[in-house]
């Protein structure tokens, strides 16, 4: 039984791979988060690049919302009688940021947001329920940081990344006493670092870099069946991937600004984890994930003295190859297109609205071999469509 459960968690645990969210209630979602480490023009820089805090002219409070609507179907072709499964869902989202300066050189900021999450629910009546019924990971991130400006050209930033993570995995298991539903659920805190640098080539161009360290979340739960049976305490060590981002911002004219961005995320390390059931020795497992990269291009166009229009494009590589995609790992490359509107009401109050469309294309295949010993059937099909819509709004108050 311990080996069976160990194999089960190997499959269902890794569904969070590639689940970073750029859409976290920040104005730069209006240009696909392009060049985020270089923008450094509002209090969200405490998350995007803490080095930018010491360049803000005034104290600022900003609140944002960004709900997301996923339209996803799994075209199940496993058997002639298979039914397609509608996985469409909506997810709330938002953020709060505060920034101030202690002196001309020292800035401080604080942010609260969620940059990682994934939830999927196939229900408990489909033929692959012994593979997966429901899986979710939810995070909440507190990011305090300081910045020091060495000169008008160069600054550094450093802060903490205090992350709360909650995980839930639910699937069917047969051969225990009778067909049953097994649930694994736990919450943990982890701490990492955020570091950044900002270099101003001139008043019209700057380069930003931001590194976020890996964060360890050591989950532990005694998985329980809905028939009352409980398994031994099971430890699952998960590492939230580290991330390196580079951004470039430059004004091409008095009315047009361009942003370029590159992002790298260490999902390969996330896919390497350990599992320990009861008193057994911890076992190293691998979910065959790959590191991902992102390229982005954004534009900010001042159409009037107090109004700006924004536009952005971005591409993310997939954290899993087509051959390794499963119903627990519905990951694929992503294409983003964003647009936004920013308006300044006064010297102290601003508002922006943005919209993002995310798609993974029309054919993301799944071909999973069956596991008779676990009563897991062969599953074939594809995710089509695989689209997400995100709507964001932010209010900024400077004082």
The answer regarding whether domain 2-398 maps to CATH 3.40.50.2020 reads no
Give the per-residue pLDDT at 16.
Answer: 29
pLDDT of residue 74: 87
pLDDT of residue 136: 82
pLDDT in the model for residue 9: 31
First and final C-alpha spacing in the chain: 61
* Overall residue count recorded for the chain in this entry: 399
**Residue 377 to residue 350: CA distance in whole angstroms:** 55
d(CA 388, CA 34): 18
Cα atoms found within 13 Å of the Cα of residue 85, Cβ hemisphere only: 25
Q: Which residues are CB-contacts of 132 (< 8 A; sequence separation ≥ 6)? A: 11, 12, 15, 120, 122, 171, 327, 328
Q: Is 369 exposed, middle or buried (0-12, 13-18, 19+ CB in 10 A)?
A: exposed
pTM: 0.89
Per-residue tokens: 83: 């039914």
Of the candidates 229, 251, 125, the residue with the CA atom closest to the CA atom of residue 183: 229
Phi first, then psi, for residue 212 (nearest 5°) are -115, 125
Q: What's the longest Cα–Cα distance across the chain? A: 72
Q: Judge contact between 91 and 119, C-beta under 8 A.
A: yes
Distances (CA, A) of 233 to 6, 144, 278, 323: 12, 34, 5, 33
Q: Which residues of the chain have pLDDT under 70?
A: 1-19, 175-179, 373
């Amino acid at each position: 039984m311990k080996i069976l459960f160990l194999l089960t968690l190997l499959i269902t645990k890794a569904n969070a791979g590639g689940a970073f969210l750029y859409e976290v209630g920040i104005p730069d979602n209006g240009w696909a988060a392009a060049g985020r480490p270089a923008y450094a023009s509002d209090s969200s820089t405490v998350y995007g690049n803490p080095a930018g805090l010491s360049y803000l002219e005034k104290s600022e409070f900003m609140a944002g919302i960004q709900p997301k609507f996923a339209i996803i179907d799994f075209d199940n072709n496993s058997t002639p009688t298979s039914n397609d499964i509608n996985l469409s869902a909506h997810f709330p989202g938002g953020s709060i940021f505060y920034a101030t300066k202690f002196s001309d050189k020292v800035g401080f900021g604080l942010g609260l947001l969620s940059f990682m999450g994934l939830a999927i629910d196939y229900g408990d009546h489909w033929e692959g329920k012994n593979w997966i019924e429901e899986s979710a990971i939810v995070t909440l991130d507190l990011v305090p940081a300081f910045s020091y400006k060495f000169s008008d050209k160069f600054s550094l930033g450093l802060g903490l990344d205090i992350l709360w993570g909650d995980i839930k995995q639910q699937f069917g298991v047969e051969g225990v006493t009778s067909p049953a539903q097994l649930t694994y659920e736990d919450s943990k805190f982890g701490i990492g670092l955020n570091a950044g640098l900002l270099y101003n080539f001139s008043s019209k161009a700057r380069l930003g870099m931001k590194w976020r360290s890996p964060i360890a979340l050591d989950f532990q739960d005694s998985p329980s069946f809905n028939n009352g049976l409980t398994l031994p305490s099971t430890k699952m060590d998960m590492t939230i991937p580290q991330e390196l981002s580079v951004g470039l911002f430059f004004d091409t004219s008095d009315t047009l600004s361009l942003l370029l961005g590159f992002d790298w995320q260490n999902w390969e390390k996330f896919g390497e984890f350990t599992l320990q059931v009861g008193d057994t020795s911890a076992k190293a497992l691998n979910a065959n994930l790959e590191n991902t990269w992102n390229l982005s291009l954004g534009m900010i166009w001042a159409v009037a003295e107090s109004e700006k229009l924004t536009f952005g494009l971005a591409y993310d590589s997939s954290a899993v190859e087509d051959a390794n995609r499963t119903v627990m790992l519905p990951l694929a490359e992503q294409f983003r297109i964003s647009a936004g509107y920013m308006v300044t009401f006064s010297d102290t109050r601003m508002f922006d609205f943005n919209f993002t469309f995310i798609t993974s294309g029309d054919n993301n295949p799944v071909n999973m071999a069956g596991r008779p010993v676990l009563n897991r059937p062969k599953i074939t099909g594809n995710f089509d469509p695989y689209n997400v819509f995100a709507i964001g709004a932010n209010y900024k108050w400077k004082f």
